[in-house]
Amino acid sequence: MADSRRGNAMVTVRNPLSAFVMTIIAAFGLCLLIGVVIHFVLQILLPIFELEIIFLSFAVVGLGAVAGRFSIIGSMGFVGSLVGGFFAMLTFQTFFFPTDWTFPLSLFWGALTGVGGLLTGKLGLRRIDRALSAMPQVRRCGRCGAKVGLNAQKCWSCRAFLPPV
C-alpha cells in the first residue's frame, strides 16, 4: 500500500501466479459470455453457421486482448488466454453450439484468444518498470563512495557510519 502522508507513493506489483489465474478466469468468463450472446443473436438475425464462426473468431481475439491486460508479461497473457479461451469454447460448444468439430474449433478459438492475450500482455511490463524506477536504486557511502545496502548502518569498506534512510 502507498502511504500518501509521507509522500512515498510506491507502485505495487502483483503476484505473477495470481495475475496468471486472473487471466485464465477473465478469458474463460468473457469468451463464454460473448459466445452465448453471439450465438443467440445470430440465431435470431442470420442463422448461418459460417457467419457465426467468423464473428466468434474476431470476438475472441478482442476478448483475449482484454484478458491479457490482467497478466504481467506477454507469454503469461498468451498462455492464460489460450487456456481460458479453450475451456470456455469447449464448454460453449458442449452446451450451446454442438458440432462434429468441437475439439478443433475449441483449439482454434483458444489460440485466437491467446494471440489477443499476447498482444496486450506484454504491455504489463510497463507496470514493473514503473515499480523499479520508484525504488531507491543504489545507496553509496559518503566517505569512500562504496555501494552499501539500503539498511546498512556502517560502510563495509571504510567502516564509516551512514546516515539513516
- Domain match, 84 and 150 both: no
pLDDT at site 128: 66
- Domain match, 48 and 125 both: yes
- Domain match, 80 and 117 both: yes
Distance CA(71)–CA(117), nearest Å, equals 8
Q: Is residue 75 part of a domain?
A: yes
- Domain match, 125 and 148 both: no
pLDDT tens for each residue of 11-34: 455 677 888 888 899 999 999 999
- Domain match, 120 and 146 both: no
- Domain match, 27 and 54 both: yes
| End-to-end Cα, the chain, rounded Å | 19
pLDDT at site 76: 84
- Domain match, 124 and 150 both: no
> Please, which contacts does 6-12 make with residues 24 or more away whose CB atoms are closer than 8 Å?
9/134, 10/131, 10/134, 10/135, 11/127, 11/130, 11/131, 11/134, 12/131
- Domain match, 69 and 99 both: yes
Distance CA(14)–CA(24), nearest Å, equals 16
pLDDT at site 15: 78
Q: C-alpha distances in angstroms, 164 versus 34, 141, 149, 157?
A: 56, 12, 12, 18
Range of the domain at 110: 16-129
Distance CA(117)–CA(125), nearest Å, equals 14
pLDDT at site 3: 47
- Domain match, 74 and 143 both: no
Q: For residue 155, report the phi and psi dihedrals to the nearest 5 degrees.
A: -70, 140
Give, as one character, the DSSP assignment of residue 140. Answer: E
pLDDT at site 1: 45
Domain count, the chain: 2
Alpha helix ranges (H) inside the chain:
16-45, 49-68, 74-95, 102-121, 125-134
Q: Is residue 11 part of a domain?
A: no
Distance CA(11)–CA(6), nearest Å, equals 15
- Domain match, 120 and 164 both: no
Regions in the chain scoring below 70 on pLDDT: 1-14, 121-128, 131-132, 134-137
